[in-house]
Structure 1
Amino acid sequence: MKKGKNYFYQTYSDDFINSGNQQYQLPKNYRWLHHGKGWFGLRVLITGIADVIAWLYFHFITRSKVIAGEKIKKYQGKGCFVYGNHTQTQGDALIAFHLLPHRFVNIIATPANLGNFIVGRLLPFAGILPIPTNFHQLNKFTQAVNKQAQSGHAVFIYPEAHVWPFYTKIRPFSRSAFHYPVDTGLASFCITTTYHTRRWSSKPQIVIYVDGPFYPRDGLTKRQQQLDLSRQIAACMKKRAKLNDMEYIHYEKVK
């Protein structure tokens, strides 16, 4: 495997992408669900803009390939959850609009994304669902995530939590990110971003694999179903990650 520059880490919780808004916290009265014609109109407008940006980004900037994207498209309007490895700052958000253009999607993200005074205020109209700042907000957040999926939206989740640019392995993730499909009974998919050598460029070719649907097995408790589903998806993503043949950034643990 071809290697590039080095990044050093101590734990899988280390951040390599830091913005000036990392400490941003949601207001105590933050609302995840909104109603009204004005909100709906802005949602349509911002989603349409995001669709165009995503099309330009994947066709002209990264020239990425998507393999089996039609698997998710078959579930348009039914609602589902999509899990992915977190290795692209912009691409991981835009892939939702690229896979499902002209549809409402939702993306679970850190509150830091809303910290920008201008762009941050527009992100909720694009379907961003920021993670709660405190425990008291968790119930409303969970209700919003489930309601959006049950309304027919695809909800994108990055259970590795932190962006590690161009990382070629799958980091551990908790079963807690998988209680949404267990609670709702909806299908889950995974998208695995992989990196490959280009003949005429030092930057990798990005290939994104779509797999699924996945469902938790019957006859298990809810906690067991969460663990079972997380293992199914992790195994699939690890299998896809073996297809990487270029390590644009080498990650090494500090001993």
Structure 2
Amino acid sequence: MTDIGGIKSDTQREIQNRIRELEKKGEFDGNVQPIDYAAMIRVSDDYVFLPRTFSFFLWRVFIRTAAAVLGPVLTKFVLGARVEGRKNLCGVKGFVAVCNHVHSLDNMIVRQAVFGHTLYITVAEFNNMKGPIGSIMRGAGTLPFSGNVKAMNELQKTLSLLLKKGCAVLGYPEQSLWLRYEKPRPFHNGMFHIAAANKVPVVPMFITFSAPSKLRSLFSKKKVATLHIFPPIYPDENLSRKENAAFSMDKAAKAWRDCYVSVYGREADIPSIL
């Protein structure tokens, strides 16, 4: 038996059991789904984050156009997705968006929410895959992290260039995907340092879940997703890069926690920083 999201029911149970195990251990950035390292393209010294070939340009245009057209339909069907607070993006150009990672399609909701901005998405190296799926993801704007120092220096330069051009860069400070997990998890500080280094705002985003409408419940009992967009957190000129990273991380964590309390009516009993 498979749900609308394409994940088998028994696999979903395994994922939720794994989440509970990691939650008890306090390992909030642990991976809960199997990783196929054999399908991964390693990020080497000479990895090209933004290919300059004409063929890749055409491929990127095609994939981004398809995502813009089909993405809202897909996320609405699979997640019943709604977006609140889009007005908070008015007048904001280059920025770092930080969102909780609770569905494999949550980046599509963000893409829909930031329409008008060119979106790039930072991902783990194991998401830099071989084959058609990997090609589609790179065309959509994924940029992989890795442990390769030279490649990461190049990634930093790439992100700086994109942010200066006014693009939006999405990162998941919780690091790993926990399917339909409702509480905010502890942050890693990488995306906040990227924002501070480039003197651009951080835009916190948080996905919550609620009961489906009566009509939707006829074909799916799963909760629907709402993406909340909060006001941008601008760097303080009087603070150092490190201080600005900590400042924006604290404010983003508070925005997430306040949203969680407001929507679910209970406190988030998890520390906000790793």
Q: For residue 158 of structure 1, what is the aligned residue in structure 2? A: 172
Relative contact order, higher structure (CA 8 A, sep 6+): 1
Moved more, 151-160 or 18-27: 18-27
Among 14, 28, 47, the residue aligned to 1:30: 47
Counterpart CA distance in 1 for 2:69 and 2:265 is: 29
Quick one: which of 88, 99, 117 aligns to 2:131?
Answer: 117
AA partner of residue 138 (structure 1): M
Equivalent residue, structure 1, for 2:66: 49
User: Which 5+ residue runs of structure 2 have no aligned equivalent?
Assistant: 1-12, 267-274
* 1:194 to partner: Cα distance: 0.6
Shift of 1:118: 1.6
Instruction: Please name the residue that 1:253 is paired with.
Output: none
AA aligned to 1:14 is G
- Superposed displacement of residue 22, structure 1: 7.3
1:218 aligns with 2:237: yes
Identical aligned residues as a percent: 20
Q: Given the superposition, is the C-alpha separation of residues 19 and 47 from structure 1 closer, same or farther in structure 2, using an over 3 Å criterion?
A: same
AA matched with 1:223? K
Q: Which structure shows the higher helix fraction?
A: 2
The answer to which structure has the higher strand fraction is 1
Question: C-alpha distance in 2, partners of 1:70/1:148?
Answer: 22
Deviations 1:54-74 (A, max 9, x none): 111222222211101232254
- 1:210 Cα deviation (Å)? 0.3
Structure 1 segments of 4+ aligned residues over 4 angstroms from their partners = none
- Distance in 1, matches of 2:43 and 2:194, equals 22
Match of 1:213, SS? coil
Whichever residue aligns with residue 161 of structure 1, its letter is: Q
SS at match of 1:30: coil
2:89 maps to 1:72: yes
TM normalised by structure 1 equals 0.85
Which moves more between the two structures, 133-142 or 144-153? 133-142
| 1:1-255 matches, cutoff 5 A | 6=17, 7-9=20-22, 10=25, 11-21=27-37, 24=40, 25-75=42-92, 78-91=93-106, 93-101=107-115, 103-198=117-212, 200=214, 201=217, 202-245=221-264
The one-letter code of the counterpart of 1:184 is N
Give the superposed CA RMSD. 2.5
Kindly provide the CA deviation profile for residues 95-116 of structure 1, in whole angstroms up to 9, marking residues without a partner as x: 2321233652100011222224
Over 3 Å counting, the alpha-carbon distance change for 1:74 and 1:59 in structure 2 is: farther
How many Å separate the matches in 1 of 2:108 and 2:90?
A: 16
Q: How many residues align?
A: 242
Cα deviation, 1:97-144, whole Å, max 9, x if unaligned, reads 212336521000112222242211232221111112422322101111
Ranges in structure 1 where 5+ consecutive residues have no aligned partner: 248-255
In structure 1, distance between residues paired with 2:245 and 2:157? 17
Greater shift after overlay, 95-104 or 159-168? 95-104
Matched residues in 2 for 1:239 and 1:22: separation? 41
Q: Structure 1 118/23 Cα, relative in aligned 2: closer, same or farther at 3 Å? A: closer
Contact 2:96/2:191, CA 8 A, preserved across alignment: no
Q: 1:138 aligns to what SS in structure 2?
A: helix
